Amino acid sequence: MQRPPFTALASVYDAIMADIEYDDWAEFVLTYLRAEGVTPRRLLDLACGTGASSAPFAARGLDVTGLDYSADMLRVARERHPHLTFVQGDLRDFQVDGPFELITCIFDSLNNLTDPADLGRALARAHAHLAPGGYLAFDVNTRAGVRDLWEGDTIEGLTETPDGREVHYHWSHHYEPDTELGVVQAFVRVEGDEFVEVHRERGYDQADLDPLLAAAGFAEWTFVEYPDYAPPALDATRVWVFARVAPEGAGA
């Protein structure tokens, strides 16, 4: 019944996450870049999952490549978005033909890298795949977000897959003070078949991310909140980061 993260969940992930604001997030990212005078053409969407985060960018005219570690999630992505390119890879050591003007990693996917050294490696790989002046845009749950998210609570519901299967889900969350990790136990029943996946996240604050972004080689970065681009409040549970590679010739 216990399955590795993002395996069995792949077939019902989009049904459970039907209300996630992927389209609004894509517009949020591109609006920020337009204000900075940047119009990206090629996008690499890291931890793309089933492609739900990739498709809104493609609908806005970008040439999109999605990358994910899970073969199960990518199988669904290729079925639902056959016009997009998807590749399998590890965030910590991926290699994709680039460069890209924009790289995204959306829906707190980087929080799944619970070792800060692994997060640093992922940021460095993103930097290596960006064109001069290109941007990495991502969101993360903060330490407060991971500590408080759903604490003592559960998320439960019924939904239906596109092919008509009934899905019952029951997700519980708790925080481990000794490891400083948030743990989500995701129980799913699909017409009598049951499985559980356990997902772990580490929260990252600006003080954690600043040295990692600098070590990865980014020239500048900004922390904002969604949807108004305001500086994050001290108790913010989620922040967005826009990190830029130095433009060509900068500092010469």
Tokens encoding 13: 């992930």
Lowest mean pLDDT among 18-22, 99-103, 191-195: 191-195
Tokens encoding 82: 């056959």
Give yes or no for a cis peptide into 227 (omega within 30° of 0). Answer: yes
Q: Give the domain ranges of the chain.
A: 10-142+204-244, 146-201
Mean pLDDT for the stretch of residues 6-15: 95
Domain covering 10-142+204-244 in this structure, CATH number: 3.40.50.150
Total-model pTM: 0.96
Write out pLDDT tens, residues 209-234: 999 999 999 999 999 999 999 999 99
| Position 252 confidence tier, pLDDT thresholds 50, 70, 90 | very low
Write out pLDDT tens, residues 134-148: 999 999 999 999 998
What pLDDT was estimated at residue 250? 73
Write out pLDDT tens, residues 49-73: 999 999 999 999 999 999 999 999 9
The Cα–Cα gap between 49 and 240 comes to 19
Tokens encoding 15: 């049904």
The contacts found for 208-215 with CB under 8 angstroms, 24 or more apart, are 208/116, 208/143, 209/140, 209/241, 212/116, 212/119, 212/120, 212/123, 213/123, 213/241, 213/243, 215/120, 215/123, 215/124
The Cα–Cα gap between 185 and 196 comes to 7
Among positive and negative, which fits the CA dihedral 69, 70, 71, 76? Answer: negative
Give DSSP secondary structure letters for the chain: -EE-TTSGGGGTHHHHTTT--HHHHHHHHHHHHHHTT----EEEEET-TTTTTTHHHHHTT-EEEEEES-HHHHHHHHHH-TTSEEEE--TTT---S--EEEEEE-SSGGGG--SHHHHHHHHHHHHHTEEEEEEEEEEEE-HHHHHHTTTT-EEEEEEE-TTS-EEEEEEEEEEETTTTEEEEEEEEEETTEEEEEEEEEE---HHHHHHHHHHHT-SEEEEE-TTT-PPPPTT-SEEEEEEEPPPTTTT-
Mean pLDDT for the stretch of residues 230-250: 94
CATH topology of domain 146-201: S-adenosyl-L-methionine-dependent methyltransferases (2.20.130)
Which amino acid does the sequence have at 28? F
